[in-house]
Amino acid sequence: MSNVGKSTNILWHNCPIGQSERQKLLGQKGCVIWITGLSGSGKSTLACALSRELHCSGHLSYVLDGDNLRHGLNRDLSFKAEDRAENIRRVGEVAKLFADAGTICIASLISPYRRDRDACRALLPESRFIEVFMDFPLEICEARDPKGLYKLARTGKIKGFTGIDDPYESPVNSEIVIKMVDGECPSPKAMAKHVLCYLEENGYLQD
Amino acid sequence: MSNVGKSTNILWHNCPIGQSERQKLLGQKGCVIWITGLSGSGKSTLACALSRELHCSGHLSYVLDGDNLRHGLNRDLSFKAEDRAENIRRVGEVAKLFADAGTICIASLISPYRRDRDACRALLPESRFIEVFMDFPLEICEARDPKGLYKLARTGKIKGFTGIDDPYESPVNSEIVIKMVDGECPSPKAMAKHVLCYLEENGYLQD
């Protein structure tokens, strides 16, 4: 019996079926693939393409999309600083549950601050958190502007927009960096293959 | 682009791989089995036994245990009324994600108020939320008192304890009711088989 956070008298229940049993069933290792980068850097595109590649090779993955979660679990959170941190914390905690379930969990969030990303990494055992940095210049992302948000930020209609009037702290030790090759942006499929190769080479796609 | 809850300018991203593809991969239908009942009514015991039975028949399930989640996602929540409601809301939202992932998600929480349980039910499409009511008399649960909590509640060391000085609103239309048979409590395996039969008969264990 213990006190944790704001809860008193709570007990940890262990089940006989744990992560290792579920991994055997699925033939893969549960992990979190955390895709970080500016708005318009292709996070959702990579998440979907990777999910498709994994599915085609018989692997179970699940995408946690920052925007989508704001329709449900995180609908009580705004974009002010403390709510953004709480948003990322919750996604990290849910991603951890999905990894524990044996799933390859693909989290796709701007997650601009190193501190928040590292807090999510620290939730998981070593090697279960794979950071993917979408390393594209602001100009490229802003030129794409798929949601028209940069335009709104430049005209002051959105405040605190990452890359414009709020910082993006680039990762320094990401497991995977996706960037331009010979001045060209890689295709969705090429980006997905890049991550897939990492997963294969590091034994995630077998139990 | 839409405003949802406290978030502005968020867009729903659809992936080509959705619930139906994941269900085909897993050979089952994603759903939420919501186990409700008094402390000591056997919710965790049923959750674990069911998880084992499902695993043995090749099905992927994942247990969301109310107490366990208070170590992580819900560590910022206390046991005061509004926090208990938020605790249940978040578990409902996460359970929905697991069902969307194709998993048979087993949520085990006292969840004493009908309003909170029904709000979770309303998050999911019809037939994807299966309520299991652990219908055992207070005297039986209190006599078991596996965590010694009833003793603390009776001596006033815990306030607002469900069944003692806080109400438990029994479900009226649960899909499954687990209760005494001829004055005897069913075994964990018997309870699990009861739920398993329901899942089989209603087509959840095939895609």
pLDDT tens, position by position, B169-201: 999 999 999 999 999 999 999 999 999 999 999
Q: Tell whether the model's pLDDT for residue A82 goes beyond 60.
A: yes
Domain for residue B12, yes or no?
A: no
pLDDT tens, position by position, A49-64: 999 999 999 999 999 9
* CB spacing of A13 vs B72 below 8 angstroms: no
Q: Is A145 on the interface with B (CB under 8 A)?
A: no
Domain for residue B116, yes or no?
A: yes
Domain for residue A4, yes or no?
A: no
Predicted pLDDT at A67:
85
Percent helix, percent strand, percent coil in chain A, to nearest 5 = 40, 20, 40
Band (B141; pLDDT cuts 50, 70, 90): very high
Q: Is A155 on the interface with B (CB under 8 A)?
A: no
For the question of an ipTM over 0.85, the answer is yes
Domain for residue A188, yes or no?
A: yes
Domain for residue A6, yes or no?
A: no
Percent of chain B with pLDDT over 70: 93
Cβ partners under 8 Å of residue A187, min gap 6: none
Which among B111, B127, B170, B187 is annotated as catalytic?
Answer: B111
Q: Is B81 on the interface with A (CB under 8 A)?
A: no
Domain for residue B164, yes or no?
A: no
Chain A residues close to B44, C-beta within 8 Å: 13
> b/e map of B170-207 (b: 16 or more CB within 10 Å)?
ebeebbbebeeeeeebbebeebbbbbbeebeeeebbee
Q: Tell me the average pLDDT across A80-96.
A: 94
Domain for residue B191, yes or no?
A: yes
Predicted pLDDT at B79:
84
User: Cα–Cα distance between A60 and A95 in angstroms, integer?
Assistant: 14
Q: Return residues 104-143 of A near B (CB < 8 Å).
A: 123
Read off the tokens for B17. 């791989």
Chain B residues close to A55, C-beta within 8 Å: 17, 21-22, 25
Domain for residue B102, yes or no?
A: yes
Give me the domain span that covers residue A132: 17-201
Q: Which of B10, B55, B64 sits opposite A70 (nearest CB)?
A: B10
Min mean pLDDT across A4-18, A104-118, B138-152 is at: A4-18
Chain B residues close to A26, C-beta within 8 Å: 60
C-alpha angle A184-A185-A189 in degrees, rounded to nearest 5: 125
Predicted pLDDT at A81:
84
The CATH code of the domain that includes A184 is: 3.40.50.300
Q: Return residues 167-206 of A near B (CB < 8 Å).
A: none
pLDDT tens, position by position, A140-184: 999 999 999 999 999 999 999 999 999 999 999 999 999 999 999
| Domains contained in chain A, number | 1
